[in-house]
Homo-oligomer: A and B are copies of this chain.
Amino acid sequence: MRQTAIQPTRDEDYAEWYQQVVKAAELAEPSPVRGCMVIKPWGYAIWENIQKHLDRMFKETGHQNAYFPLFIPLEFLRREAQHVEGFAKECAVVTHHRLEVNEDGELVPAAPLEEPLIVRPTSETIIGEMFSRWVQSYRDLPLLINQWANVVRWEMRTRMFLRTTEFLWQEGHTAHATAAEAQEEALRMLDVYERFARDFMAMPVVKGEKTERERFPGAVRTYTIEAMMQDRRALQAGTSHFLGQNFARASNIRFLDRSGKLEYAWTTSWGVSTRLVGGLVMTHSDDDGLVLPPVLAPRQVVILPVIHKQEVAVKVNEACDRLASELRQRRYGGEALRVEVDRRDLRGGEKMWSWVKKGVPLRVEIGPRDLEKGVVTVYRRDRSPREKEVVGRGEFLSRIESVLDEIQERIWDRAHAFLRENTVTVSTRDELKEFFGDPGQAGQRQGGFALCWWNGSAEDEERLQEELGVTVRCILFDQEGEGPCLMTGRSAQHRVIIARAY
A332 to chain B, nearest CB (A): 18
In the bound complex, do residue B88 and residue A99 qualify as a contact, i.e. CB atoms below 8 Å apart?
A: yes
A92 and chain B: residue at smallest CB distance? B94
Q: Are A67 and B44 in contact (CB under 8 A)?
A: yes
B74 and A166 form a contact (CB under 8 A) = no
Interchain CB contact under 8 A, A41 and B69: no
Report the 8 A-B pairs with minimum CB-CB distance, sorted nearest first: A41-B64, A36-B69, A88-B99, A39-B67, A93-B96, A97-B154, A93-B109, A33-B69
**A74 in contact with B99 given A67-B39, A119-B94, A130-B31 (CB within 8 Å):** yes
Q: Are A32 and B74 in contact (CB under 8 A)?
A: no
Confirm or deny: A162 has a beta carbon within 8 angstroms of a beta carbon on chain B: no
Residues of A within 8 A of B (CB): 29, 31-33, 36-41, 44-45, 47-48, 64-74, 76-78, 84, 88-100, 107-109, 116-119, 126, 129-130, 133, 139, 145, 149-150, 152, 154, 166, 168, 345
Chain B residues with CB under 8 Å of A72's CB are 33
Contact of A88 among B70, B98, B119 (CB under 8 A): B98
Provide the residues of chain B in CB contact with A48, threshold 8 Å: 65
Q: Min CB distance, A436 to chain B, in Å? A: 33
Contact of A41 among B31, B65, B71, B97 (CB under 8 A): B65
Quick check: B64 and A88 within 8 Å, CB to CB?
no
Copies in the complex: 2
Contacts of A91 in B (CB 8 A): 96-99
Partner of A32, one of B66, B76, B92, B116: B76
Report 22 cross-chain contacts, Cβ distance below 8 Å, ordered by A residue.
Answer: A29-B133, A32-B76, A33-B73, A36-B71, A37-B69, A41-B145, A48-B65, A70-B152, A71-B166, A77-B99, A84-B99, A84-B107, A91-B96, A92-B96, A92-B117, A93-B95, A93-B99, A94-B95, A94-B119, A95-B96, A97-B154, A98-B154
Q: Decide if A107 touches B68 in the complex (CB within 8 Å).
A: no
Closest to A87 in B: B99
| B92 and A97 contacting across the interface, CB-CB below 8 Å | yes
A67 to chain B, nearest CB (A): 4
Question: Given the complex of chains A and B, what is the CA–CA distance between A39 and B74 in angstroms?
Answer: 21
The complex places the Cα of A185 from the Cα of B345 at a distance, in Å, of 23
Q: In the complex, what residues of B have CB within 8 A of residue A166's CB?
A: 69-71
Given A119-B119, A150-B150: A38 in contact with B107 (beta carbons within 8 A)? no
Chain B CB within 10 Å — which of A73, A99, A345 has the most?
A99
Q: How far is the CA of A166 from the CA of B97 in the complex (A)?
A: 13
For A99, list chain B residues within 8 Å (CB): 74, 77, 84, 88-89, 91, 93, 118
Cβ 8 A contact of A94, one of B94, B145, B150: B94
Question: Are A98 and B90 CB-contacts (below 8 A) given A45-B64, A73-B32, A126-B33?
Answer: yes
CB distance from A309 to the nearest CB of B (A): 23
13 A-B pairs besides A41-B64, A92-B96, A94-B119 with CB distance below 8 A are A31-B68, A31-B69, A38-B67, A39-B66, A44-B67, A47-B67, A78-B107, A84-B99, A90-B97, A90-B98, A91-B97, A92-B94, A149-B150
Residues in B whose Cβ lies below 8 Å from that of A32: 73, 76, 126, 129
Q: Once bound together, how far apart are the Cα atoms of A350 and B40, in whole Å?
A: 49
